[in-house]
Amino acid sequence: MYQFARKALFHLDPEKAHHLALKSIRYSDKLTLSQHIFDSLASPVTVMGLEFRNPVGLAAGLDKDAECIDGMAALGFGFIEVGTVTPRPQAGNPKPRLFRLPEHEALINRMGFNNKGVDHLVRQVKQASYTGVLGINVGKNFDTPVDKAVYDYLTCMRKVYPYAGYIVINISSPNTPGLRELQHGKYLNELLNALKSEQEILEAKHGKRVPLVFKVAPDLDDEEIKEMALQFLSAGIEGLITTNTCASREGVEGDKYAKEAGGLSGAPIFDQSTKIQEKFYQHLGDNIPLIGVGGINSGERALERLKKGAKLLQVYTGFIYDGPGLVQNIVEKIKGDAV
């Protein structure tokens, strides 16, 4: 069924197809058409002190404004991550800014954190009936200087804290100028210190501890990984997402969209993303749980990421190409491997 729907959607502009697909998922949830199909996808796992329905989650970026939480939940995801959201609404980069590379099962995007702002997202979260683990991914506005970025993250953190299962600090999108500078040195140290201090204050205020998770890029060298890992361990963050989209075009050379600016996602970045995950695991071990994302489009690839250190998984581009059946295939593969 999804292959038929995908054929129709892929005849549309990618961004228009994205919005139409979200509307369809919301509509099917109201009719309870999806829930019956995927109700059996229970394979509980506890990570960061949270119980996940199964280890396969929806990555940030698909539901930026948290307007489709219940619909996504009905498709069998073990957890859902919404955002990236910024303190103030912003339009993002000029269109076109999203490109399909079907021969490679890949996407290139330069969306630029387009979203309706953190206050809108909070209203949507409060209206949802979803009771599973909800991650909320936060970032800085495009016009906030890098040396002031910490204030944007603190603003978002304070507003989403009561409603989040965990909070993701996105410092790795390639589409916001200067953002990746926050992955290194004094900027990362300042961010870690400020957010962990605020976490203590918010825990006392709300009576619950919400894990802080950082999301890193796949375009890191060994020394950068080592230094970041040491800073993460020292600060005591609760989780790490490996990885965001990739600046490299390895694997899609020659495609008509290969020279478009933005982050590459999907099947071609699996090897690089897995390599970065492995290297972080070498430094972190099980002290900081890893959430593997990047090119996971099959049960076999999902198992490889789990066997190389990930405790949880996320999908996005694979979901675009393969539909909800991908979640089912991965969960069944994981269950089968455990027997």
Active site residues: 173
**Cα–Cα distance, 152 to 133 (Å, whole number):** 24
What residues contact 143, with CB distance under 8 A and at least 6 apart? none
CA-closest candidate to residue 179, choices 120, 273, 111 = 111
Q: How many CA atoms lie within 13 A of 140 on its CB side?
A: 26
What residues contact 329, with CB distance under 8 A and at least 6 apart? 298, 299, 322
**Integer CA distances (angstroms), 299 to 56, 318, 319, 329, 332, in order:** 11, 11, 12, 6, 8
Is the separation of the CB atoms in 318 and 105 below 8 Å?
Answer: yes
**Structure tokens given for 191:** 């961010």
